[in-house]
Amino acid sequence: MNEYQLLRKKHFDAAVAQTGFQTQESLTASFQIPKNLFSELQKTVMDYLYTSSHHAAVKKEVLSDFLEAFSSKAKNVSTSGIVIPKSYCDLAFTNVHRVIAEVMTQSNLREGAEFWIYPFNIRLKGAVKTSDVLSYPTELPHSETWVGCSKRSVLLHIPVLGDMENNLLKVWKPGAEMNADWLRPLASYHDANELIRNSQELSVSSQAGQVLMVDSSLLHGTYRHPNAGPRVSIDLNVVLKNYSNDIFPDEHNLLAERQKLSSQDFFEIGKSLRVHSPDGDGDIFSPVDGMRHPANIKIVKS
């Protein structure tokens, strides 16, 4: 590790020590979700997918068949697999949020969060990888800072449904050339091809029933073993109090104020607050500010 990587490790370790997460490889950690809570998360995510596809639950329906056909039935799926909250499924999205907030409370991450980058993503990754012609293919090792996320943030990844064993998230450690200059927006993940080539895969990956935490100075990406099936996961980013702006200046992030959600509001969604979207399937959200994200949402009173 170079000096910058060691500095991030120092602050990452201090943040993790205040939570229920357990350190794994350097700059990564995981939290085991209580079984009853994980089951509730799976149920609310399934309800969200059914609502998104205007599909009624069918007894004995094979999950893999439903997920395989999902993108042809649902009209709210982005090119990277984000299932976008729309007017007809924003309440179901709120219900998913409520369970995630409880997971974060039980992990003791609640007190360490300065703010949450919002909305989080419920994402379907099919058996076939994203096209190589995309500028930001999530199969390519990458950092969220390359699309404008805060360099003071960590990624939280939760595999929820489907083939979570063979269709998973892997993590890589960049070489010594990794420094603060690399944690800035890029026009394409391909702009970092040399850094990607010099990265070393870590012996850590996403696991069913766990929250995987990854520091922004590491790289992550979707990986599929041969004959993998579709997988649904949740990813969200949080800025930690331990990552002081004085030590990690954050002048390059593209976050709009509407994308910064206070912890107070984060933990009220599903209670006194809810997520609302005015958009239907025919509406395309193209904001002129902030990180690129396809969801047009507001936080309103329940």
Closest to 277 in 3D by CA, of 47, 94, 77, 78: 94
52-73 average pLDDT score: 88
Give pLDDT tens digits for 118-170.
Answer: 999 999 999 887 667 678 989 999 999 999 999 999 999 999 999 999 999 99
Give residues with Cβ within 8 angstroms of 82, minimum separation 6: 121, 122, 123, 294, 295
Q: Tokens 């009173």, residue? A: 301
How confident is residue 58, by pLDDT bands cut at 50, 70 and 90?
A: confident
pLDDT of 1:
86
95: pLDDT strictly greater than 90 = yes
- The confidence band for 81, taking pLDDT boundaries of 50, 70 and 90, is very high
The per-residue pLDDT for range 293-302, each reduced to its tens digit, is 999 999 999 9
Cis peptide before 278 (omega within 30 of 0): no
Instruction: For residue 121, give the amino acid letter.
Output: N
The vertex-233 CA angle with 151 and 265, nearest 5°, equals 60
Q: How far, in Å, CA of 82 to CA of 120, rounded?
A: 10
Closest Cα to residue 63, out of 42, 94, 78? Answer: 42
Residue 79 scores a pLDDT above 80: yes
Q: How many CA atoms lie within 13 A of 110 on its CB side?
A: 14
Mean pLDDT of the chain, nearest integer = 95
Report domain extents, the chain.
Answer: 3-301
| pLDDT(60) > 90 | no
pLDDT in tens, 249-285: 999 999 999 999 999 999 999 999 999 999 999 999 9
Quick one: pLDDT at residue 127? 84
Q: Is 114 left (phi over 0), alpha (psi -120 to 50) or beta?
A: alpha
pLDDT (0 to 100) of residue 131 = 64
Q: In the prediction, which pLDDT does 128 show?
A: 82
Query: pTM of this prediction?
Result: 0.96
Q: Where are the beta strands (DSSP E) in 163-297?
A: 167-173, 200-205, 210-215, 219-224, 231-240, 260-262, 273-276
Strand, coil or helix: what is 267? coil
β-strands 273-276, 260-262 pairing: unpaired
| For residues 203-220, average pLDDT | 96
Domain range 3-301, CATH architecture? Sandwich (2.60)
State the average pLDDT over residues 41-62.
90
Q: Report the pLDDT value the prediction gives residue 61, as an integer from 0 to 100.
A: 82
Torsion of CA 249, 255, 257, 263, to 10 degrees: -70
CA-only gyration radius of the chain, Å: 18
For the chain, first and last CA: distance in Å?
48
Identify how many contiguous H helices and E strands the chain contains and give both numbers. Answer: 6, 12
Strands across the sheet containing 200-205: 200-205, 167-173, 219-224
pLDDT at 59 (0 to 100):
65
